[in-house]
């Protein structure tokens, strides 16, 4: 509704871990630290990337 911009649920779920990586100056993040939705989003990315 309206002109606001909204992230898809996958990007939204991964935005917090990504922000923490930036703030903590980390280049990697253990998948075990992701919550359920973020883990699903990451797994979907990996599957898609492996099929290309």
Tens of pLDDT, residue by residue over 12-38, are 999 999 999 999 999 999 889 999 999
Q: Is 9:1 a contact under the CB 8 Å cutoff?
A: no
- Residue written as token pair 């990586």: 21
Count other C-beta atoms under 10 Å from residue 28's C-beta.
6
- Domain boundaries, position 32: 9-51
| Structural domain count of the chain | 1
45 domain-assigned:
yes
Distance CA 46, CA 42 (A): 6
3 domain-assigned:
no
4 domain-assigned:
no
37 domain-assigned:
yes
1 domain-assigned:
no
Residue 19 tokens, joined: 């922000």
Question: Considering the entire predicted model, what is its pTM?
Answer: 0.73
Average pLDDT over residues 36-49: 94
């Amino acid at each position: 509704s309206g002109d606001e911009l909204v992230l898809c649920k996958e990007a939204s779920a991964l935005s917090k871990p990504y922000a923490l990586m930036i703030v903590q100056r980390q280049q990697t993040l253990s998948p075990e630290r992701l919550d359920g939705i973020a883990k699903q989003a990451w797994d979907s990315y990996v599957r898609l990337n492996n099929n290309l």
